Amino acid sequence: MTRVGVNGYGTIGKRVADAVAAQPDMELVGVTKTSPDYGAEAAIRRGYDLYAAIDDRVDEFEAAGLTVSGTLANLLDAVDVIVDCAPSGIGERNQPVYEAHDTPAVYQGGEDADIADASFNARASGDEVVGADSLRVVSCNSTGLSRILAPLDEEFGVEKSRVTLVRRGGDPSETDRGPINDVIPDPTTIPSHHGPDVNEILPDIDIDTAALKAPMTAMHTHSVNVTLDTETSAEAVRDLLSEQSRVFQIPEQAGIDGAGTLKDYASDLGRPRGDIWENCVWEKSVSVEGRDLYLFQNVHQEADVVPENVDAIRTIATDVSRSESVARTNEVLGVGFDSLLADGGSVQAPMTADD
Amino acid sequence: MTRVGVNGYGTIGKRVADAVAAQPDMELVGVTKTSPDYGAEAAIRRGYDLYAAIDDRVDEFEAAGLTVSGTLANLLDAVDVIVDCAPSGIGERNQPVYEAHDTPAVYQGGEDADIADASFNARASGDEVVGADSLRVVSCNSTGLSRILAPLDEEFGVEKSRVTLVRRGGDPSETDRGPINDVIPDPTTIPSHHGPDVNEILPDIDIDTAALKAPMTAMHTHSVNVTLDTETSAEAVRDLLSEQSRVFQIPEQAGIDGAGTLKDYASDLGRPRGDIWENCVWEKSVSVEGRDLYLFQNVHQEADVVPENVDAIRTIATDVSRSESVARTNEVLGVGFDSLLADGGSVQAPMTADD
């Protein structure tokens, strides 16, 4: 049984906590919050022990009526692995604290790559992650790209990849983010950090990335071009992607036309928080011109790294193989859509949500 | 056991179906869809029998790989009550079909008031709904207004109510709706239909409503002014609202600052689809100047009518009292937030979702 703590109970932390608590081979010892807000209340309601992320704020929680089990230091001493889910850059400040407590750590992709022994993606990482004392799960976008580039490279060879990332401006709960009426080159310099970040996982892939921010909150959208080493067909690519357990190809006939309907589908299937852990590749977009592959995919920025965190914990703390860990994580969380809609089913009328 | 069918499995229909299926005294016989899209697939996955809303489309479902149990006519013959969750205006076309099958019906607020024997709100309707063969659950906005105006009128007397409704442009799954960068007077003429609609429930309330549409999808926001017959205090109003089982007052100290964080809280508490069945009154906004009460409230357009539909079914089909029905519905669905956060708890730092 691996004892796990989650430091930071925000968008990613709350989901990692739920995923860890669901694993039969893991024990969620507790989670931290910096302040007693609705998220802290919700953690307690879920039965999670709450720790103050900042020592001198224990009184603040008590004043708000929320009981804390201790501070971050107490949590670190009680766990085998800490998952750092603090905002970008705070993980760097936390690192010496974890090391002082001799607690192995999983970091998120908002931190620099050198914070950990290796960067991590369950599908695409090499053996450099074995035996690591700390791992960094690459960002949602880099996770989404690594998951498709690895099999494409193995099957067809990747000569060059060019990706435009149209990123959501903020998460649904980030009411103060923007843009509200623009699409912002971010950064304006090319490449964005995503290409180099993919190279932390797949060092031999030639990839350039250009990134924008758009006024939407539900998901990121990637416009992907991959020049392959060998000619192939769209069908062969679809077949390859259909074998990837964390890639969902959106059926043409499902009446799903954007992130709104995609997330609605996830909620319809009873997914907690409407989460989508898989890359969502638009089946109809997969096309091949000579050696050039094109496709659109959506990535749920709140969720796709969650199963990766679970696998990173196992990689650090156990001898369970990566493939076995992925299988376990998928099984417990329910990763993988298996559409009932037959290929070639005909949806003739445009659908509305109230039809 | 009341046998219930749901005609139309869109935004409202899917939620009503789930709510009916959860009631121990009801049986969900089946739901209809017009086409075999992702929603139809999800209905089958949830174990609901699927019926073709349009007779000659059965083949279309079969071609898509989805098994249907029959057509709308078959469903109507098998139920005690049909809940019409078709898009606005389609209920009117469905009415003669229901009547031909002698099937009592619950309609939604998108239909004209004269479609049913009476309009319905569980908290505010009078005895005119007793014995009705058909009921119309008023729209999400009218539901939200009725829930607060009824108790305010009973306790303090309502001299006049003036409400500005800033409505969401479309639901999250309605990817083709607008506006995308404007706030639209809709309708430009005052009053909007909401005031008269409230009068279908509370005929003696003097109310004017002005309505707008804004580029957001999560919830509607109401700016409410009520001139009361008697002077009172904000505290007395808060106390009154706190006694209403379908009104949630958002605690000042929860760190909830908009619909995004509000819905995040609902998901944190494990609400299915992140649904919020309650009016959400911003506690800090409740203020009284002389006899003038002001407050903001949010209404989750996808969800607040759902418990009302359950109560409307019981009102038509059983002798269960309205108060008993409300109690049962609330218990089964888990309606009612009960914040753990102590009054006066201090959240000093602004929160971000990733803190």
Q: What is the pLDDT of residue B338?
A: 81
User: SS3 breakdown of chain A: % helix, strand, coil, rounded to 5?
Assistant: 35, 25, 40
Mean of per-residue pLDDT scores for chain B? 94
Report the candidate in A66, A106, A100, A63 with the shortest Cα–Cα distance to residue A85. A106
Tokens 């009981």 appear where? A67
Q: Does A255 touch chain B if contact means CB atoms closer than 8 Å?
A: yes
Catalytic residue among A31, A106, A129, A140: A140
Q: What is the ipTM of this complex?
A: 0.88
Checking if the pLDDT of A348 tops 70, the result is no
Do the Cβ atoms of A43 and A33 come closer than 8 Å? yes
Give the pLDDT band (50/70/90) at residue A342: low
Give the pLDDT band (50/70/90) at residue B53: very high
- Among this protein's residues, is A140 annotated catalytic? yes
Cis peptide before B179 (omega within 30 of 0): yes
Q: What is the pLDDT of residue A339?
A: 80
Annotation-wise, does A238 bind a ligand? no
Which residues of chain A does B265 touch, with a Cβ-Cβ cutoff of 8 Å? Answer: 38-39, 42
Alpha carbons B347 and A52: distance in angstroms, whole number:
13
Give the pLDDT band (50/70/90) at residue A38: very high
Alpha carbons B56 and B71: distance in angstroms, whole number:
9
DSSP B128: G
Mind listing the pLDDT tens digit for each residue in B116-173?
Answer: 999 999 999 999 999 999 999 999 999 999 999 999 999 999 999 999 999 999 999 9
Q: Across the interface, do A260 and B174 touch by the CB < 8 Å criterion?
A: yes
Alpha carbons A107 and A85: distance in angstroms, whole number:
7
Checking if the pLDDT of A85 tops 50, the result is yes
Mind listing the pLDDT tens digit for each residue in A148-179?
Answer: 999 999 999 999 999 999 999 999 999 999 99
B177 φ/ψ angles, rounded to the nearest 5 degrees: -90, 165
Give the pLDDT band (50/70/90) at residue A337: confident
User: Average pLDDT, stretch A233-249?
Assistant: 97
Residues 6+ apart with CB under 8 A from A5: A28, A29, A30, A31, A32, A51, A75, A76, A78, A79, A81, A82, A83
Mind listing the pLDDT tens digit for each residue in B62-91?
Answer: 999 999 999 999 999 999 999 999 999 999
DSSP letter string, B196-218: HHHHHH-TT--EEEEEEEES--S
Mind listing the pLDDT tens digit for each residue in B4-34?
Answer: 999 999 999 999 999 999 999 999 999 999 9
The rounded percent of chain A whose pLDDT value lies above 70 is 96
Q: What is the pLDDT of residue A352?
A: 36
* Amino acid residing at B243: E
Alpha carbons B253 and B258: distance in angstroms, whole number:
13
Checking if the pLDDT of B346 tops 70, the result is no
Give the distance between the most distant pair of CA atoms in chain A: 66
Mind listing the pLDDT tens digit for each residue in B195-246?
Answer: 999 999 999 999 999 999 999 999 999 999 999 999 999 999 999 999 999 9
Q: Across the interface, do B355 and A33 touch by the CB < 8 Å criterion?
A: yes
Q: Does B8 touch chain A if contact means CB atoms closer than 8 Å?
A: yes
Alpha carbons B126 and A134: distance in angstroms, whole number:
65
Domains of chain B listed by start with CATH number: 2-137+305-333 (3.40.50.720), 140-299 (3.30.360.10)
In terms of C-beta distances under 8 Å and separation of at least 24 residues, what long-range contacts does B233-236 make, across chains too? Answer: B233/B288, B234/B286, B234/B287, B234/B288, B234/B293
Tokens 């099999």 appear where? A151
Q: Does A264 touch chain B if contact means CB atoms closer than 8 Å?
A: yes
Mind listing the pLDDT tens digit for each residue in B256-273?
Answer: 999 999 999 999 999 999
User: Average pLDDT, stretch A273-286?
Assistant: 97
Mind listing the pLDDT tens digit for each residue in A289-324?
Answer: 999 999 999 999 999 999 999 999 999 999 999 999
Q: What is the pLDDT of residue B342?
A: 66
DSSP letter string, B272-287: GGG---SEEEEGGG-E
